[in-house]
Amino acid sequence: MEIKNIKNIVIAGAGVMGSSMAQTFAQSGYKVTLYDLKDEYLDRSRNLININQSASVDKKIFTKQDSENIMGNISFTCSKDCFRSADFVVEAIVENMDIKHSFWSEVSETAPEDAILTTNTSGLSITKIAEAVKNPERFCGMHWINPPHIIPLIEVINGDKTAAETSKLVYDISKLIGKQPIMINKDAPGFVLNRFQFAVLREAMHIIEEGIASKEDIDNVFKYGLGIRYACLGPLEIADLGGLDTFYNISSYLTKDLSNTKEVSSILSDLVNDGNYGVKSGKGFYDYSNGRDKEVIRKRDEDFYKVSECLFGEK
C-alpha cells in the first residue's frame, strides 16, 4: 500500500478515542467510517464529535462550514461490511486481549490484503495482538493520546512481525494529518509515554503514602513547575541544561529513596474497588459531582488548546 492510495479510513470503536481520531482524519480530507456494535454508541459518538467541533468553531480553529465539511467526511455504521473497502484501519475498541484477538481474526480476513491495520492499544503487546492478524507484516501500533484531536503525539509501534514499510507509512500518514509521530522500535509494555506516565503516578502515590505532600500539592508541582518544563523540553535535555554533574550527584542519593514497588498502590486499588473511577464516575482522587465533571473537561480542552497554540501555533 502506498500513502497516496489511502482514501478510506475505518475506525473500529466509536468511543472517547475513536470519535476524536475520526474527526482528525476527516479534518485532513479523508473519508472516515466509524464502526461500533450498537446504534446508541454511534449516536453517542456523533454527539461527542459535535461537542468537540463546536468547541473548535467557538475557538475559531475552523469555521462552521469547515465543521460541516468535516462531519460530511464521517459516516457511522454497525455493519462489518465497511472493512471490505478499507485502505487503513485503526482499532480503538475495548482494552482486552481476547476481545482484540477476536476482532482482528475476523477483520484481517475481511479487509483487503494490502490494507494497513493498526491498533490504538494503550500498551498491550503489538506482537501478541498480531497473533490473530492475517498477514501481520501490515499490522502495527498507532497509539494516540487523549484527546486525540488536540494532542500532537502519536506512538508508532513495531511488533516483531511488522514490516518496516508498514510502520513508515503509519508514521508518514500521522505527519500528513498534522500529528507528531515517534517510532517505537521495540514492542515494550506501555511503549514510551505510558512508561513515564505510570512511573510518575507510582511516585505520586508513594509521596502521599509517605506523608511528604498532599495530593493537591503533588498536582501543583506539575502545573506550576515540571509541566512548564516538560511542555518545552524532554528529561534528557533538562538534565543537559541543569548540568550532568549536578544530576549525577542528586541521582546518587535520591534514586534509592524513590518508589521501586512492583505492586499497584493500595491508594489506587482502594479507590477502584470502591467504584471511584475519576471523572467518569463523579469521584476519584477529587470530587466531580454537581457538574464539575463537564467543567473540568472543558477547562482541560481550553488549556490544552492554549498551550498547543503557544508552542506549535494555530492549527
Ligand X SMILES: NC(=O)c1ccc[n+]([C@@H]2O[C@H](COP(=O)([O-])OP(=O)(O)OC[C@H]3O[C@@H](n4cnc5c(N)ncnc54)[C@H](O)[C@@H]3O)[C@@H](O)[C@H]2O)c1
List of residues contacting ligand X (CB under 6 A): 12-18, 35-37, 41, 92-95, 99, 103, 120-122, 144, 146
Catalytic, 122? Answer yes
273 secondary structure, DSSP code: H
State the residue number with the nearest CB to ligand X: 15
Catalytic, 131? Answer no
Catalytic residue among 194, 259, 265, 276: 194
**CA torsion angle 124 126 130 135 (round to 10):** 160
Q: How far is the CB of 120 from ligand X (least distance, A)?
A: 4
Q: How far is the CB of 56 from ligand X (least distance, A)?
A: 19
Encoded amino acid at 196, one letter: F
Q: Return the CA Rg of the chain.
A: 21
Catalytic, 143? Answer yes
Asked if residue 101 lies in contact with residue 132, where contact means CB atoms within 8 angstroms, the answer is yes
Residue nearer to ligand X on the CB measure, 78 or 164: 78
Dist CA 220 CA 12 (whole Å): 37
- Beta-carbon contacts of 313 under 8 Å, excluding residues fewer than 6 positions away, are none
Q: Which three cell numbers stand for residue 167?
A: 510502520
Catalytic residue among 52, 73, 155, 167: 155
Residue nearer to ligand X on the CB measure, 89 or 169: 89
Residue nearer to ligand X on the CB measure, 82 or 204: 82
Other beta carbons less than 10 A from residue 174's beta carbon: 21
Other beta carbons less than 10 A from residue 6's beta carbon: 19
Residue nearer to ligand X on the CB measure, 238 or 268: 268
| Number of residues that make up the chain | 315
Encoded amino acid at 297, one letter: I
Residue nearer to ligand X on the CB measure, 193 or 267: 193
Residue nearer to ligand X on the CB measure, 32 or 207: 32
Catalytic residue among 19, 143, 158, 174: 143
3-state secondary structure of 196: helix
| Chain centre distance of CA 306 | 19
Catalytic, 101? Answer no
H or E element, residue 7: none
Dist CA 310 CA 315 (whole Å): 11
Burial (CB < 10 A; 0-12, 13-18, 19+), residue 11, is buried
Residues with catalytic roles:
122, 143, 155, 194
